[in-house]
Chain A
Amino acid sequence: MVGPILEVVDVHFAYPDGTQALAGMSLTIERGSKVVFLGPNGAGKTTLFLQLNGILRPSQGVVRFDGNDLRYDRRSLMELRKNVGIVFQDPDSQIFSASVLQDISFGPFNLGMSEEEVRGRVQGALAAVGIESIADRPTHFLSLGQKKRVAIAGVLAMEPQVIIFDEPTSSLDPKTAKQLLILLDDISRDGKTVVISTHDVDIAYSWADRVYVLESGRVADAGTPQEIFLDEAMLERVDLTQPWIVDVWRELRDNGYLPPNALLPRTKSALLALIRSRLCHSFRITDLVSERAAINERG
């Protein structure tokens, strides 16, 4: 099951007010991958996502799903949206019902399922995002993190192959954001293709398989996280900073604390392990202090 699931080929799109949101964008999303889109506001991330789900239609260029050009008749769109789900940034604009259960059941019912099947799907989605305990609560009494989970469950219940998250961690506190990323990993492990947009380079670096940097409706750069975040000149040009892991690793390497061929770690724990392994080769100041204390005691 490899190969591209979504392809965007030279897509142009302008909004009715004249804003050129996409100006010849081309990219490929591999099946089962974790893709991050970076880029300033207005770079075209949300517009791109709406193209992938058939809400917007390119004025030029094509979008392909599973190797086939998108068609925009009702039936083809239903088929596409069944397979490509979007979790929007603001859950308040996505959750239409005051009941958690009802909101999540909306998508599966639209797929023409029976009530029994829908109940199964809803229970599955509730369990997957870990909100069984609030299934009976009204949506307007939920916290932002809980609302985001409801919105995600509403899309998960349709069991799409690709799930797109528009800035999933925005306005969340660090703990909630971390839990959400774990949830995204779980979804990815289930074999789904997960696409997110974010402004957080640390998240992009540690989480993604592939990173796209967007700028003014085009792809400014694409590659693995390591490729993207070692390209300082490009990062500077599009006003992105380096992830702290890359910063620290570079500093240690350039000053001789790490060998020049040391691999760039992806996660904080990998970086710490790397540092610890280097420390074994040298003495530790604490050892020295305790040795001195022992000598003093004897003397």
Chain B
Amino acid sequence: MIHIDQYAYANRLRAVHPGEKLAFAAITAGICLASPSLIGQLAILMTMAAATVAIVGIPWRFYLKLMLVPAAFLLAGIVTVAVSFSSQPDPGLHGIDLWGFAVGIRDRDFVVASSLVARSLGTVSCLYFLSLSTPMVEIIGVLKRCRVPAVLVELMTIIYRFIFVLMETTRQIHTAQVSRLGYHSLSASYRDLGQLTSCLFHRSMLKSQMLFVTLSSRCYSGEIRVLEPRRRLSLRRGLLIGGIDAVLLAVALATRGWQRW
């Protein structure tokens, strides 16, 4: 999380208008979600990965590690989709025989599962492109301009800020616990985790009360208005984004009928 944020503030696309990056990520993610073809999804994954590593300037090792995060969730998900059991011999099931049960993968399920993987990773790559190239504050700024309700925008601002305050508080409480032999056994771990959680909750309440006081002392009257960074929209980049997305869309549509195993 911290690393993602660090890259968001220091990357080669930092000075690019956040609207362009958001549009590129969102449109491409849309194409990926709607794409009827596996090839199209893979093309998006490749394009976005290449853009993130080569253009945004994220080290590929770090990027791969980030990609493994959703991969773990995905693995758990696709096993349930792809693998089937049958008590009768089933010719359509490619697999092994376990104590009279046929365990394996059906052709149709394989297609569904692989498309699921490609679709998910493709969309995640769009998300990563955005979050590794654009600070949250600027994304929120764009949403505000897109007339997202003020209350949502303000909540996002404050939640995002307090994620870090809360993380720091958690770290401090955890250190205090460990330094007094906290978490030394399984049962102790459960108990200490419970205490950490309740302590965190209590402190969050205090922090939120304090925040209201500090905001009020700066004349807060129900609306948070702040400066947005000034960035220029570039027609050239806009056309580039349009071009890339048009190609990706074309690939997705052209390869629609290819999956007929």
Give the residue name and chain of the B residue nearest to A90 (CB): B210
Question: Nearest chain-B residue to A93 (Cβ)?
Answer: B210
A-B contact pairs, 17 of them (CB 8 A): A50-B217, A55-B213, A55-B216, A81-B216, A88-B217, A96-B157, A98-B135, A101-B229, A102-B226, A106-B215, A109-B227, A110-B218, A110-B225, A138-B135, A140-B5, A155-B218, A158-B219
List chain A residues, Cβ under 8 A from B197: none
Q: Is the CB of B137 within 8 A of A97?
A: yes
Within 8 A of A (CB), among B115-174: 135-137, 157-158, 160-161, 164-165, 168
Interface mask (B30-61 → A, CB under 8 Å = 1, otherwise 0): 00000000000000000000000000000000
Contact digits for A64-98, partner B, Cβ 8 Å, 1 yes 0 no: 00000000001000100110011010101111111
Q: Does B87 contact A (CB under 8 A)?
A: no
Is A26 close to B, CB under 8 A? no
- Residues in B neighbouring A81, C-beta threshold 8 A: 216-219
| A277 CB to nearest chain B CB (Å) | 47
Question: Which of A85, A101, A118, A140 has the most chain B CB atoms inside 10 A of its CB?
Answer: A140
Q: How long is the Cα–Cα vector from A106 to B137 in the complex, in angstroms? A: 14
Specify which of B136, B160, B210, B219 lies most central, judged by the most chain A CB atoms within 10 Å of its CB.
B219
A55-B213, A101-B229, A140-B164 known; A93-B136 Cβ under 8 A = no
A94 to B211, CA, bound (A): 6
Contact of B211 among A74, A82, A85, A93 (CB under 8 A): A93
Return A148 CB to nearest CB of chain B, in Å: 13
Q: How far is the CB of A30 from chain B (nearest CB, A)?
A: 22
- Determine if B215 and A138 form an interchain contact, defined as CB atoms under 8 angstroms apart: no
- B183 on interface, CB distance cutoff 8 Å: no
Main secondary structure on chain B at its contact with chain A?
helix
Is residue B79 contacting chain A, with contact meaning CB distance below 8 A? no
Whether A106 touches B5, Cβ cut-off 8 Å, given contacts A86-B217, A97-B137, A98-B164, is no
B-side contacts of A93, CB under 8 Å: 207, 210-211, 214
Determine the chain B residues whose CB is within 8 A of the CB of A185 once the complex forms.
none
Contact B161 A105 (CB under 8 A): no
- A residues within 8 A CB of B110? none
B63 at the interface (CB under 8 A from A): no
A13 to B246, CA, bound (A): 67
The yes or no answer to A154 lying at the interface (CB within 8 A) is yes
Known: A50-B213, A93-B210. Is A98-B136 also a contact (CB below 8 A)? yes
Q: Which B residues are in CB contact (< 8 Å) with A107?
A: 218-219
